[in-house]
Amino acid sequence: MMKKDTVLSIRLSVPQRKKLSELAESKGMTLAELVRSALSGLTWETEFERNIEYHQSAIKELRELQRVMRATQRARSKAVTGEAVAPKKREQLNML
């Protein structure tokens, strides 16, 4: 299913519109193309920041899962052998 375009309406003063139209014309664009280009230039930064936030939270959750899995592995090992397996130095640092 194809999405329809959405109309975005803004109010500009006559001098502002004239300056923007001149700028668009100097770049060989229409005023609508200039505005569209400017808006799309800003959205990549927003999306990039969202991706960074998402991946940081995913890494945090994976580290927590890793910590739980290592603790479970030590408990399972203790149940099987009767001896506790000491956490490795790196694991000790992650627990802090």
The string of pLDDT tens digits covering residues 80-89 is 676 666 666 6
pLDDT reported for residue 60: 94
73 or 14, which is more confident: 14
pLDDT reported for residue 8: 78
Give the span between the Cα atoms of 87 and 70, in whole angstroms. 8
Per-residue tokens: 76: 């399972």
Question: What is the mean predicted confidence (pLDDT) over 32-48?
Answer: 81
Question: What is the mean predicted confidence (pLDDT) over 34-56?
Answer: 84
15 Cα distance to chain centroid = 38
Give the span between the Cα atoms of 54 and 62, in whole angstroms. 12
Q: What is the DSSP string of 21-65?
A: HHHHHHTT--HHHHHHHHHHHHHHHHHHHHHHHHHHHHHHHHHHH
Question: What is the mean predicted confidence (pLDDT) over 38-55?
Answer: 83
pLDDT reported for residue 7: 79
